[in-house]
Amino acid sequence: MKLLRLAVATALLLSFEAPAFAQSTLRIGLAEDPDILDPTMARTYVGRIVFSAFCDKLFDIDDKLNIVPQLALSHETSPDGQELTIKLRPGVKFHDGEAFDAEAAKFSLERHLTFPGSFRKPELATVDHVDVVDPLTIKLVLKQPFSPLLAQLTDRAGMMVSPKAAKEAGDKFGLKPVCAGPYKFVERVQQDRIVGERFADYWNKDNVFIDKVVFLPIVDATVRLANLKSGGLDLIERVLATDIKDVRADSRLKLSTALELGYFGLTINIAKDKAKGPLSQSEKVRQALSLSIDRDALTQVVFNGEFIPGNQWVSPEHPYYQKGFPVPKRDVAKAKALLKEAGVTGPVTVDMMVPKGAESEAVAQVLQSMAAEAGFDLKIRVIEFATSFKQAQAGEFQAFLIGWSGRIDPDGNSYVFMHTGAPQNDGGYSNPDADKALEDARLVNDAAQRKAIYERLTKVATNDLPIIYLYHRRLLIAHTTKLEGYKQMPDGLVRVIGLKLK
C-alpha cells in the first residue's frame, strides 16, 4: 500500500510539473500543509517557510543571528528605549503594484495589532502607536521599553502587506496574500500545492534567479525523500533522522543542517481541560509524567541521537539556557511516589493529541511506552496537522505533542506560550510569578540581567510544567545538487534569494 501511495504521489508531482520545464521551477516538499496564508493570523512553521518567498519583512537575520535590514534601511532606538525610528527602503512595490511607504508600514503594523484574532498582537503589544515621520520613515512609540521588538520584526510581525488588498479582502486576505516578497502568489489548492511566480518589480530582483516556486505538502517523509530522489522535488524539509545516511550516500543529494532555535514538547491543558483530569489539576502529576520520560533514550530511538534532549524553551547550547536546571534523568520510582503524593490511584488516563507524521507518531509511541511504567495511560489521538491547531485553541486535548520552530530572542519561545491570556497559551496556564518574569525580561537589554530574570521563570516553569519540553531538533534539509546557493539557518526558513537551479 505504501509503495502504491509512493507511485501515485510521484506520478501526480511529475504530471503537475511537466508543463513548467520551459521555466525554472523550484519544487519544495513540505511536511504539512500550512494554515492560513495571512501573516497576521498564521501560526505554523511551514507557513513561515512559504511566507519567506511571498512576504518580505522589515528586518531579517544573517547566518550569525544578527538582525539585518530587509524592507527597512536602518533603525534607531531612543535613549529611554520607548521609541524605535525606522527608515524604509525606497522604490519597493507590493505585488499589486501599490507602493510600499511609511503609510503602508503603519497600516501593516496596526493590522497586526488590531485585527480580530491576530497572533501578532502579543508580539507587538507594547507598541502604543505608529507615527509617520515622513514618506519613508516611521516611528514606533512604545508604552514601555521592549527589548525583543527588533527580533519580532524579523518574523511575521514584521511582514508588510498591501493596504489596498488587505482592506478589500478583509478576513479573506489569507486566500490570496499580497505582500512585497520575491514571489507573487498565484494559487493554492489545499493539501496539494501553493504556487508563486517571480515578481518582476521586486526590489532585489537581481538576486532572484528562479521563475517559479511550488510548495507541495507531503506528510509522509519517505514519500518526500523518494520524490526528491526521482527528480519530482528539488528540496525537502524535515528529512527523517534515520534517513541521514541514505541522503549522504546519494551523490545527487546534499544535506543542510542547523540546530533549531525552538523545541519539541508536550503542551499540557491546565485550565481548559473539560475532563479536569489529574494532569491538569496537579503539578505533581505533571512532574511525574516528566520524570517517566528518558529524553536521551527517546532521541536515540527515534532520531539516532541526532537531536538534543532538553527541558527548557531554549536548548542546552543556547546562551540563555539555565544550567542550574539541568535536563532531568528518568526516575520511575520518584514518578510513582509523586502520583501517590497527589492522591492518584490507578492509571492516569491522558488524551494525547498528536499531529499526523512519522516522527511525531513514533515519539508518541515511545512516550506512551515509557509513561506506562510510571502509571500513565497515554491515549494517542493522531490528527491532521492544521486541524490539531484548531482543536488546541478550543482546548480539545489534555496533552498536545507539538514543536515550535523558535525565535532568535528567548521571549519569542516563552511569552506567547506561558503568559496569562497569550493567544498561543493553548493550555490556559496562568501564574503571576511567571507573568512577572516574562514581563520584566522585556524591559531590559542587558543580557546578564535578562538571564537572571529568566532564571526566575525557569524555576516556576520547571515546577508547574505547563509544557514538558522533550528535545531540540536538528533542522534537516535535503536538496538536489542541481540547486546552488542554499544555506540553512537556525530559524528553519527556506530562503529563496540567491538560489539557482543548474
Q: What is the pLDDT of residues 228-279, one digit of tens each?
A: 999 999 999 999 999 999 999 999 999 999 999 999 999 999 999 888 899 9
Cell of 45: 512553521
Confidence of residue 496 (pLDDT cuts 50, 70, 90): very high
Give yes or no for residue 3 having a pLDDT over 90: no
Q: Give the whole-angstrom CA distance, residue 81 versus residue 98.
A: 33
Percent of the chain residues topping a pLDDT of 70: 96
pLDDT value of residue 23 = 82
The pLDDT of residue 273 is 86
Q: Is the pLDDT of residue 93 over 90?
A: yes
| Range with the poorest average pLDDT among 101-105, 202-206, 316-320 | 316-320
> Is the per-residue pLDDT at 225 higher than 50?
yes
| pLDDT band at 142; cut points 50, 70, 90 | very high
Residue 22 confidence (pLDDT): 55
Report angle CA 179, 45, 275 to the nearest 5 degrees.
125
Instruction: Tell me: pLDDT of 14 over 60.
Output: no
Judge whether residue 7 has pLDDT over 90.
no
Judge whether residue 217 has pLDDT over 60: yes
Domains in the chain (CATH in brackets) are 2-55+181-259+475-501 (3.40.190.10), 59-165 (3.90.76.10), 263-472 (3.10.105.10)
Read off the amino acid at residue 119. Answer: F
CA dihedral 78, 82, 87, 92 (to 10 degrees): 170
Q: Is the pLDDT at 138 greater than 80, yes or no? A: yes
The mean pLDDT of 163-186, rounded to a whole number, is 98
Q: Which pLDDT value is given to residue 275?
A: 81
State the Cα–Cα distance between residues 441 and 449, nearest whole angstrom.
8
Exposure b/e, 342-351, CB count within 10 A at least 16 = b:
bebeeebebb
Look at residue 386 in the predicted model and tell me its pLDDT: 86
pLDDT of amino acid 428: 96
Dihedral over alpha carbons 101, 102, 108, 110 (to 10 degrees): -160
Residue 15 confidence (pLDDT) above 90:
no
Kindly tell me if the per-residue pLDDT of 19 is higher than 50. no
Cβ pair 169, 185 in contact under 8 A:
no
Query: Does 291 have pLDDT greater than 80?
Result: yes
Task: Quote the pLDDT of residue 415.
Answer: 95
| pLDDT of 4 higher than 50 | no
**Dist CA 450 CA 278 (whole Å):** 34
- Confidence at residue 410, expressed as pLDDT on a 0 to 100 scale: 95
Sheet with 474-480: strands ordered across:
183-189, 193-198, 212-217, 25-30, 235-236, 474-480, 253-259
pLDDT given for residue 144 in this prediction: 95
The torsion angles phi and psi of 501, rounded to 5 degrees, stand at -110, 125
Residue that has been written with the C-alpha cell 538534543 in this structure: 308
Higher pLDDT, 21 or 26: 26
For residue 17, what pLDDT is reported?
Answer: 46
Residues 59 and 153 sit within 8 Å (Cβ to Cβ):
yes
